[in-house]
Amino acid sequence: MKRKTQTKTKKEKNIVFLDGEYVYKENAKVSIFDHGLLYGDGVFEGMRSYNNLCFRLEEHLDRLWESAHTLMLEIPYTKKQLQDIVIKTLQKNKLKDAYIRLVVTRGSGDLGLDPRKCKKPTIFVITDKIVLYPDTLYKEGIEIITVPTVRNHPEAVNPSIKSLNYLNNILAKIEATTAGYLDAIMLNHQGYVSECTGANIFIVKDGQLLTPPSHMGALKGITRQAILDNARDAGLPNEERALTRHDLFNADECFLTGTAAELMPVVKIDNRIIGLGKPGKITSKLTTAFKKLTKVEGVKYSL
């Protein structure tokens, strides 16, 4: 049955895009035989809009296409068409500042693993607000720990693929929250620092900005790249380098980056105070530079 396109009302506030139509979130349904649900077979992107500017939307779509290509998952839209869909979903919800979730699943099939049984991908776009951390933590910083769950081996599930299968990260998140922490550091199979459960990690040491490379298990984050770009523009020495916990413990500064979290200062790791135990000067400068970047980079839209 064809879903009816609907407009926003006071009673039902959120509209999502689902397989070619815009429907209220209450009516947005996918099959229980969808392989995205059954097996985590699919890809996604989390994006942000700032004052009617969808930050680095083109870069997000490029990464989505690369992830899908590796999974041999064909997206039945062009990048320009998906860009327009994202913008239209924001407009329908009258959101100038929002978090955006774009998802492409393998689609509905049978109970077997064979992706050839799924004839058509499922695609949906959600736009809404998101708040991961209270404002006080951005001023004071957070404490995190290292957890036993290691990052997926890069030759098992490549970290450059932003897939729907987040169980590896979820297990680490469970360990963090059970211990009373908001986030956790994940090491790779060699014992090197990879990333946190949903964010990349940076340290500052002797005036140099350092972050783990992707082959160590780190996602090539869009915010991560924006920070590296800002650092280079500012003449701040930076490098992608293998890092150990010892490197983190003895850093002058530390912070996390992610689309939802933006830049989050870290002041203690595994009960070791980092630097002066408060957000550092370089972290603050990079935060300011990032906020400026979100005002000028991206795809502009009107409401």
Neighbouring C-beta atoms of residue 80, cutoff 10 Å: 10
d(CA 42, CA 274): 38
Question: In this structure, are residues 237 and 208 in contact, taking their beta carbons and an 8 Å threshold?
Answer: yes
The residue annotated as part of the active site, out of 162, 220, 285, 291, is 162
- 139 tagged catalytic: no
CA distances, 156 to each of 152, 168, 276 (Å)? 7, 12, 39
Token pair recorded at residue 235: 């003449």
Question: In this structure, are residues 52 and 302 in contact, taking their beta carbons and an 8 Å threshold?
Answer: yes
As a residue count, the chain comes to 303
DSSP string spanning 263-288?
A: EEEEEEETTEEPTTSS--HHHHHHHH
Torsion of CA 259, 265, 269, 272, to 10 degrees: 170
Neighbouring C-beta atoms of residue 287, cutoff 10 Å: 20
What are the catalytic residues? 162
